[in-house]
Structure formats: C-alpha cells, structure tokens
C-alpha cells in the first residue's frame, strides 16, 4: 500500500437516533430510514467535489477545500429535513468539518478486488473531526477553527452563500480524554440549523466535554447582524473584501445610519500592523500633504481581542476587486487604466514628501471609487507596513517599534534590492512600475517577465515601465510628481 501525507478537509455526517429511532419506528421502518439517509448522502455527494472514504455508523467524506465541505453540509442538512417528517421529529442529521494532516493509503488493485476500500485515511485529523461531531446536535454542522476561517473567507463574494447563512463562534471546549482544547464554530441556514452553542454531552466513554473558562469576547468573530464589542450601536452588515490581513466588514450605526468600515483581527501578531496604520495616518494628517491620500482611519481598539480599526466607508472596491468586476481588464479604456496609475504616482509622491515609505503598494491596498460620469478616483487603504523615515521618524518611533510581518509568499511587487535592504522610496517606485505594466497589459496577475514589452503597444508606456521597474534602484525616477 502506498501512503501520502497531505492536508485535507474531512467531513463526517451521521443520522442521529440509534436505539431511539428503532424504538420509535420499529426495526423495519428504522432500517428503511437509514437506507434513505445513506442514499441521500451519496446522491448529494455527486453534486460536490468530494468523495466517500468509508461508511460505518457514520460517513467519512474527503474534500479539497473547507468551503466545498461547508457547501455540501449545508445542502445535506436541508435535504435531511425531508426525512424529519417521516421520523416525526426535528432534523436528525448532524455534521462536522475539520482541516488537518492525514495519511492517505492507496489500496492495491488486488486488494480492492477482494472488497477493500480504494483509499484509507489515518491520522489525528480523523480523530479530531470525530470529536467535533460528538458535540453536534440535531441539524447542526460544527467546524474547527482553521476550517471555519478558510471557509468563511472563501465564501466572501460567493452568491451561493446568501444572508440566510450564519457563521457563529461557540468558544473553546476541552476534551477530557485527550486533554485537547478545540475552538468550536457553527455554520447553518436560518430556520434549518439550531445556531446555538452545543451543550457539553457525555462522550461514548462517559467522559464529559466542558467549555474552557474564558472572557465572553475571547471567541467573538464578526458575522452579519452582530453588534461590535465596545461599539454596540454599530451593527455588522457584510464583509467588504478579502483583506491583506484580518477581516474588513461594513457596519451601520443603529441610530444615525452612518456606515463605517472595520478591520478586525483576533491575533496579537497583527497588532504591530494596526499600530503602524494608526501612527502613519496621524503623521500624514499632521504633515503638509496637500491631497487626500488614504481612506481616513478614525480610531482603533487595540487593547484586547477582538482588535479593530475603524475607518470611514469609502464606498469603493480594491483595485483587485475593481478589475475583477470589469471582467476583462483589457476592455477598460487604456486612458482610464493609465489615469489610475497617474493618480497613484501623485499619492506616492505626496506620501514620500511627508517622509513615509509605503512598502505595501499592491492591488489589494489600493481602492477605486467610481462615480457616474466621472473618472475613477484612487486612495490607499492599507498603510500597515509603512515606515516613517528621516527627521519625522523620532516622534512616531514608539508606535512603529513592533515588527510588522508580511506574507512570506513570492511578491512580484517587491523590488529586488529589498531582499537584503530596508524599504526605501525606490521600492515604492518599483511597485508602481509593476502596477503600470499590469494595467497597461490588462492583467493584474501577470508578472513582469522576459519579453514583457510585447504586452504593451505604446512606446511611451514601455519607456515609463522600464524606468520605474529598473532593477537598479539608482536608475529609477525619484520624483514621481513628474
């Protein structure tokens, strides 16, 4: 047997009832209900990118992504409701989802011909998903934290997850048998799932599962209709975009109707970035910058989780979302695309004149406001990696003392010299050159590779891109106001 260790999404489903179902319906009818349930699970799986691994008292299913597992389990819970009328009770299906490392064993063909399963799954993730399932009640789908976070982030902008889908955090639970603590979450459809914290039941071995003692806000997660801790008049409406870090949500004030954007994070690792955002915004506000360069950040709550920054709502899209909304970016007039870079050049020049290096000029840190009958206007949305340099650095040194970490994935906007040097204005100029190339070529995913000149017809633009994105920082123009 060949084995391979992989990180996969495991989902486990089960028809509740056991002896109760047989006592209520009788042996023959209970077996019929179980057969209908098993057929339902397998027929439904044909509509989703998952596979059945095994069937005993429960089904163990394997998915590539947590979002696929969530979509399947939501459809499963709704389908199982059809069995409820025959069982004469509430929805009796329950499900659990966990993302973790498993060992996949591929069974040799000769063993399969004798009745063996084609794929075996082993590892701690299998045990964990079973523990999560042990907490689930009738009609409930529970998730572990990583599966929940990835699925909910993946659901942003997916029209199949409408306002009736609710995402909840139920806090941390300790499993006494393994001395393991898991943070438990739920996803469900209003009117279908219970959407309540699971009661700590006795496990099959008779051991109790008890909630960990915690502060009420410790496990808070943003969700539509939720009030913001310490800002109870602000009600969350919807997530705005996939953020460079944390989550960005739109909220409306219950009394005034005003709308603000909130960036949330429960990780202390994000605090240096949030402190930097506030410090740089305040510095720019106090500097003689003669134009609006960033979405105004009003204040922050950085003392205890959930941490958040509160900003004015720009009623805009990130450059990445704006490009996606236009489908083929190449269909947008070239003059409009170049105008966006021209405005960015003015913004970066103004920021540099105030002694600030951005170090984060990316499609997701730029927002586009589009108004009917006028050209798009541009603002920066994320200054969390910016640095104040020169004479201005001293006053803000305390707020900028923390180490703000960036994503370790390859970054086509990062100038070559920054692999070994601290960020400089020349690095921002390089990033602007990459953005100019991508907008001129009509593709924000295209790197500046060999023969890039073939993608840009205009000779003047080719010269501008070559100058801005020159590998030698000394050859790049330093005064972007030109």
> Exposure of 197 by Cβ count < 10 A (0-12 exposed, 13-18 middle, 19+ buried)?
middle
Q: What is the pLDDT of residue 274?
A: 92
Structure tokens at 311: 């900003």
- Cα torsion 162, 153, 53, 206 to 10°: value is -90
Confidence (pLDDT) at 214? 38
Instruction: List, in sequence order, every residue forming a beta bridge with 251; answer none if it has no partner.
Output: 236, 260
- Pairing mode, if any, of strands 141-143 and 93-106? parallel
By three-state DSSP, how is residue 208 classified?
strand
Distance CA 331, CA 200 (A): 56
* Residue bearing tokens 């600030």: 356
> Residue 75: which region, alpha, beta or left (left: phi > 0; alpha: psi -120 to 50)?
alpha
pLDDT value for 206: 38
Quick one: pLDDT at residue 34? 77
Q: Looking at residue 73, what is its pLDDT?
A: 93
Calculate ∠ Cα 256-258-259, nearest 5°: 150
**Mean pLDDT for the stretch of residues 380-389:** 90
3-class secondary structure, 53 = strand
User: What DSSP line would sit under 57-78, residue for residue?
Assistant: SSEEEEESSHHHHHHHHHHHHH
pLDDT band at 345 (very low <50, low <70, confident <90, very high): very high
Mean pLDDT, the chain, rounded, equals 81
Residue 248 near residue 239, CB atoms below 8 Å: yes
Measured in residues, the chain has a length of 482
Residue 304, Cβ density class (10 Å: 0-12 exposed, 13-18 middle, ≥19 buried) = exposed
CA distances from residue 409 to 84, 413, 414 in whole angstroms, order as listed: 48, 12, 11
Q: pLDDT band at 408, cuts 50/70/90?
A: low
More confident residue, 13 or 409: 13
**Tokens 């005034």 appear where?**
256
How would you classify the pairing of strands 259-265 and 297-301?
Answer: unpaired
Place of tokens 């219970």: 194
DSSP 116-154: --SEEEESHHHHHHHHHHHH--TT-EEE-HHHHHHHHHH
State the Cα angle at 112 between 107 and 114, rounded to 5°.
135
Q: Is the pLDDT of residue 207 over 50?
A: no
What DSSP element (H or E) covers 234?
Answer: strand 231-241
Half-sphere exposure (Cβ direction) of 132: Cα atoms closer than 13 Å: 32
Instruction: Give the pair of three-digit tokens for residue 417.
Output: 């010299």
SS3 content of the chain, % helix, strand, coil (to 5): 35, 25, 40
Residue 137 near residue 199 (C-beta atoms within 8 A): yes
Asked which of 105-119, 138-152, 162-176, 276-290 is least confident by mean pLDDT, the reply is 105-119
Q: Give the pair of three-digit tokens for residue 214.
A: 């915690």
Residue whose C-alpha is closest to residue 372's, from 441, 293, 312, 315: 315
User: pLDDT for 123-140, tens place per residue?
Assistant: 888 888 988 998 898 889
- What is the model's pLDDT at position 95? 93
DSSP tag of 288: T
Query: Where residue 10 falls among pLDDT bands split at 50, 70, 90?
Result: confident
What one-character DSSP code corresponds to residue 16? -
Provide the CA 453 distance to its chain's centre, in angstroms: 35
Q: pLDDT per residue over 79-119, tens digit each?
A: 888 776 666 655 578 899 999 888 777 766 665 556 556 66
Question: Among 317, 167, 310, 313, which Cα is nearest to 246's?
Answer: 310
Q: What is the mean pLDDT of residues 177-203?
A: 77
- Centroid of chain to Cα 269: 16
Q: What is the mean pLDDT of residues 389-399?
A: 60
Residue 91: the pLDDT is: 58
Report pLDDT for 478: 83
Q: Are 251 and 260 in contact (CB under 8 A)?
A: yes
CB 369 within 8 A of CB 400: no
**Residue 163 has what pLDDT?**
72
The whole-number pLDDT of residue 205 equals 42
The per-residue pLDDT for range 447-470, each reduced to its tens digit, is 999 999 999 999 999 999 999 999
* Mean pLDDT in residue range 170-181: 71
pLDDT tens profile 190-201 = 888 888 888 765
Owner of token pair 């997850």: 161
Pairwise CA distance, residues 343 & 336, whole Å? 11
Query: Is 98 or 389 the better-scoring residue by pLDDT?
Result: 98
For 228-263, write each residue's pLDDT tens digit.
Answer: 888 889 998 888 766 678 888 899 999 999 999 999
Give residue 227's Cα distance to chain centre.
Answer: 20
Q: Two tokens at 188? A: 């469900």
The predicted model gives 371-398 an average pLDDT of: 77
What's the rounded Cα separation, in Å, for the pair 297 and 310?
6
Checking if the pLDDT of 325 tops 70, the result is yes
475 vs 170: CA distance, rounded Å: 56
Question: Hunting for tokens 């071995």 — which residue is that?
Answer: 205
- Over its C-alpha atoms, the chain yields an Rg (Å, rounded) of 27
């Amino acid at each position: 047997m060949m084995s391979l260790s992989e990180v996969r999404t495991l989902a486990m489903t089960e028809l509740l009832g056991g002896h109760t179902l047989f006592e209520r319906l009788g042996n023959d009818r209970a077996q019929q209900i179980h057969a209908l349930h098993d057929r339902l699970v397998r027929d439904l799986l044909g509509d989703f990118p998952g596979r059945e691994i095994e069937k005993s008292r429960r089904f163990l299913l394997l998915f590539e992504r947590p979002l696929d597992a969530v979509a399947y389990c939501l459809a499963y819970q709704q389908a199982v409701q059809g069995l409820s009328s025959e069982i004469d009770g509430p929805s009796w299906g329950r499900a659990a989802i966990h993302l973790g490392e498993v060992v996949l064993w591929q069974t040799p063909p000769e063993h399969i011909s004798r009745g063996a399963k084609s794929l075996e799954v082993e590892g701690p993730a299998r045990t964990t998903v079973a523990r999560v399932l042990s907490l689930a009640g009738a009609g409930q789908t529970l998730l572990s934290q990583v599966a929940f976070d990835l699925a909910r982030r993946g659901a942003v902008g997916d029209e199949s997850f409408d306002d009736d889908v609710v995402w909840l955090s139920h806090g941390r639970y300790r499993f006494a048998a393994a001395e393991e603590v898991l943070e438990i979450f739920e996803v469900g459809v209003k009117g279908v799932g219970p959407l309540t914290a699971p009661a700590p039941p006795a496990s099959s071995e008779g051991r109790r599962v008890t909630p960990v003692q915690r502060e009420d806000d410790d496990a808070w997660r943003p969700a539509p209709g939720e009030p913001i801790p310490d800002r109870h008049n602000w009600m969350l409406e919807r997530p705005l975009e996939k953020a460079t870090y944390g989550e960005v949500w739109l909220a409306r004030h219950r009394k005034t109707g005003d709308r603000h954007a909130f960036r949330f994070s429960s990780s202390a690792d994000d605090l240096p970035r949030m402190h930097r955002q506030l410090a740089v915004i305040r510095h720019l506000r106090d500097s003689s910058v003669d134009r609006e360069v960033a979405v105004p950040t009003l204040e922050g709550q950085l003392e205890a989780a959930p941490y958040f920054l509160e900003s004015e709502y720009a009623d805009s899209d990130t450059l990445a979302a704006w490009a996606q909304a236009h489908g083929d970016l190449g269909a947008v007039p070239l003059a409009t695309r170049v105008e966006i870079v021209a405005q960015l050049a003015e913004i970066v020049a103004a920021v540099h004149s105030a002694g600030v290096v951005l170090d984060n000029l990316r499609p997701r840190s730029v927002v586009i406001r589009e108004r009917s009958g006028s050209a798009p206007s541009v603002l920066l949305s994320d200054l969390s990696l910016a640095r104040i340099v020169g004479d201005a650095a001293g006053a803000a040194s305390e707020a900028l003392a923390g180490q703000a970490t960036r994503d370790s994935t390859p970054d086509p906007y990062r100038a070559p010299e920054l692999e070994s040097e601290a960020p400089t204005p020349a690095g921002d100029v390089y990033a602007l050159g990459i953005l100019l190339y991508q907008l001129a070529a009509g593709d924000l995913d295209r790197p500046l590779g060999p023969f890039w000149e073939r993608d840009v017809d205009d000779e003047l633009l080719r010269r501008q891109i070559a100058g801005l994105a020159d590998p030698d920082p000394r050859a790049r123009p330093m005064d972007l106001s030109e």
